[in-house]
Amino acid sequence: MKIIYLFLTFGILSFTSEHRSEDARFDLTVTVTNIQNAKGKISFGLFRKQDSFPIKGKQFKGVFIETTKSKTKYTFQNLEKDDYAVAVYHDENNNGILDKNLVGAPTEAYGFSRNARGMFSAPSFDEAKIELKDNKSIEIWIK
């Protein structure tokens, strides 16, 4: 009889812990560094694989944070276990877009998770992806 109780208890505990890990939520804290001045805001965009990385307006979650120092931090909260990529830029003139010159090169500082850089375009999602399976903090250096 004790063996039956032992198996039942083990089965219930393993189901409960497995169920908890599937429902677990995590925070991703992003610190943007190398901000050259306190003008404008920093745009934070969080993307999943199915989102159109790194197109503004196509992100999973996004926010603009005022900056007053050489680094600015934001935490995306309550995220599911998944792969994510982050794109940030310094919107110095507060117009809500990443300004570009005539040939399409950005004129405002920007960066991506894992400090990924594409050669003549933005990096791919896979180059910038972060596996989120617990609370995590990352730093993105913009230029």
Instruction: With a cut of 90, say whether residue 5 has pLDDT above it.
Output: no
CA atoms within 13 A on the CB side of 57: 3
* Domain boundaries of the chain, sorted by first residue: 25-141
Query: What's the whole-model pTM score?
Result: 0.84
- The pLDDT score that the predictor gives to residue 39 is 94
Using pLDDT thresholds of 50, 70 and 90, give the confidence band for residue 22: low
Give 23-38 pLDDT, tens digit per residue: 899 999 999 999 999 9
- The pLDDT score that the predictor gives to residue 37 is 94
> What is the C-alpha separation between 128 and 139, in angstroms, rounded?
12
Hey, what amino acid is at 136? Answer: K
Bridge partner residues of 72 (DSSP):
32
Nearest in space to 138 (alpha carbons), one of 88, 82, 96:
88
Fold held by 25-141: Immunoglobulin-like (2.60.40)
